[in-house]
Chain A
Amino acid sequence: MSARLDLRFAGAGGQGIVMAGRVLAEAALRAGRAATHSQAYGPASRGGASRSDVVIADEEVVFPLVRRPRVLVILTAEAHRTYGDDLAPGGTLIVDTEASDGDDGLVLPIVETAARIVGTELASGVVALGALSAAVDDTDLETLEATIADRVPASLRAANLEAFAAGRSMVR
């Protein structure tokens, strides 16, 4: 059984966390690794806490769900209440400034940065990806950028890559 890296983006609908998880998993595949993506959301069309989980492994991912993420990104206060305790001991916590509850982790203005650079909170996931890529050794910068570029509409490509870079620079 190969070692696995479990990661979670937690937030609300409309913050781009599903896309961020898919980009992270697809970038891992491009880098020749195995990955799965799973998601959970509530029944309400607004509000509620959602999660977007990624497992990255060297070989097959046997069980695709994440229980105790080693990397946890939190973008809303409600997601903080729902998922804040799930972080694995010694794991990496990245929290949006507005969602922070006096956390020990990296507290960063992720949502605000997304709105400022791309003009929509939808890009919060991309900013979070940037921060995550700088905070976690086990990610590949080039494949992440290439995957983002492929995933977003051409008209928003430059803005999204800028948002990603802004996320990185918050951590470095």
Chain B
Amino acid sequence: MKQSRLIQGNEACALGAVAAGCRFYAGYPITPSSEIAEYMARHLPEEDGVFVQMEDEISSLGAVIGASFAGARAMTATSGPGFSLMQEHIGYAVMAEAPCVIVDVMRAGPSTGRPTSPSQGDVMAARWGTHGDHPAIVLTPASVTEIFELTVRAFELAETLRMPVIVLYDEVLGHTRETVELPPRVEIAGRRTPRVAPTEFRPKEAGPDGVPPLPAFGDGYRFHVTGLTHDERGFPTDEAEVAGRLIRRLHAKVEAHRDDIVEVETLLCDDADIVIFAFGIVARAAKEAVMVARAQGLRVGLLRPRTIWPFPDREVAKITAGASVVLVAEMNLGQVVREVERAVAGNARVEGLFRADGEAIDPEEILQALAPDLEGAAR
């Protein structure tokens, strides 16, 4: 259904969350994510949901985790400084295996930075911001429509894999208005509940796919929630073997579903001599650069991750196999480029186009960065 209405990226995020069944939001408003909180505050009560404005971002994610264990699909949204504060509870959600969605609308940092300016500086914070060995799922939409889709997707992954899922996009997308095709209804797979009787239930015992079933608190099943390393009963352990098994299972459940989680989109990569790797708003600039280059007969393509973590290394290796140059364009000083280098493994030259001044990369800059290599890309 194509609407003749313009929808802002942050509104699409909130619409996606509500469509996916989110009925609990706790947050602390922060530019440039505040419109998500504003929308949820207005519309969650209409859906018999709960909106809570918390005192800070630490408690926000804490409340979200609590609501999740009580059975709700729950979300919070923030930006750089708030995302830093949430890191402790992101780790807690990984360890306790609390399904939840965290949206980070990236602004220029570090610290307070430039609150109203875009960046892509949180890519590694989204992967490694919380301490310890842990898996991460991070989705990177590149349009208002895709913010809706991937917010829905984030809930599905969070609920089915029992873990936090991060939706990561920049201020430009958060505040841009575009026409959006909204599905009439959305249905997603939810969390798996126990099939055994309450007396036989072991809270952290997983099946072959590594995901333990999750009852809602109050359903009559024994409940044990902890950030401590624990055994299958949920009780803290000091046994190395049990500890190792838990950490490996937390990773294995993501790896087992890796091919379902990782999504990329390609544009004219089949014969491309130069492949541009870009995500978020930069992918939109790259798409226009590809169209301009192609109109001049130059073999340039675009590889765009919809999932940035787990990193689509196999896809990058395969799609860039025939290219001689891979240009990584990102609004930071080079966070994703090393991942691309790792995946390309010397089979092509990897170049970077970086910008960290709070301005978006535009198509012209990408074409300029490609200029030295365009001769080789001529047909």
A residues adjacent to B (C-beta < 8 A): 1, 22, 25-26, 29-30, 34-43, 61-65, 67
Contact = CB atoms under 8 A, between A and B. Distances in A.
Interface string B283-301: 0110110011001000000
Given A38-B172, A67-B362, A61 B178 contact: yes
B175 interface: yes
7 contacts: A25-B6, A26-B4, A29-B5, A34-B179, A37-B178, A63-B285, A65-B176
B82 interface: no
A63 B284 contact: yes
A128 B103 CA distance: 36
Contacts of A29: 4-6, 179
Given A43-B114, A63-B362, A64-B176, A35 B284 contact: no
Interface residues of B, number: 26
Given A40-B175, A62-B284, 20 more contacts: A1-B292, A25-B6, A26-B4, A29-B4, A30-B4, A34-B179, A36-B6, A36-B177, A36-B178, A37-B178, A38-B172, A38-B175, A42-B116, A43-B115, A63-B284, A63-B287, A64-B284, A65-B176, A65-B362, A67-B362
A37 B284 contact: no
A30 B3 CA distance: 10
B212 interface: no
Contacts of B130: none
Given A29-B4, A63-B284, A63-B287, A41 B364 contact: no
A26 B5 CA distance: 7
Contacts, number: 65
Nearest to A48: B116
B360 A39 contact: no
A62 B116 contact: no
The majority secondary structure among interface residues of chain A is mixed
Nearest to A4: B288
B84 interface: no
A7 B179 CA distance: 18
A34 B177 CA distance: 12
Contacts of A39: 175
Contacts of A62: 284, 287-288, 291
From A41, A43, A62, A63, name the one whose CB has the most chain B CB atoms within 10 angstroms: A63
Given A22-B177, A26-B6, A37-B6, A63 B363 contact: yes
Interface in B169-193: 172, 175-179
Nearest to A44: B116
Interface in B88-119: 114-117
Interface in B340-378: 360, 362-364
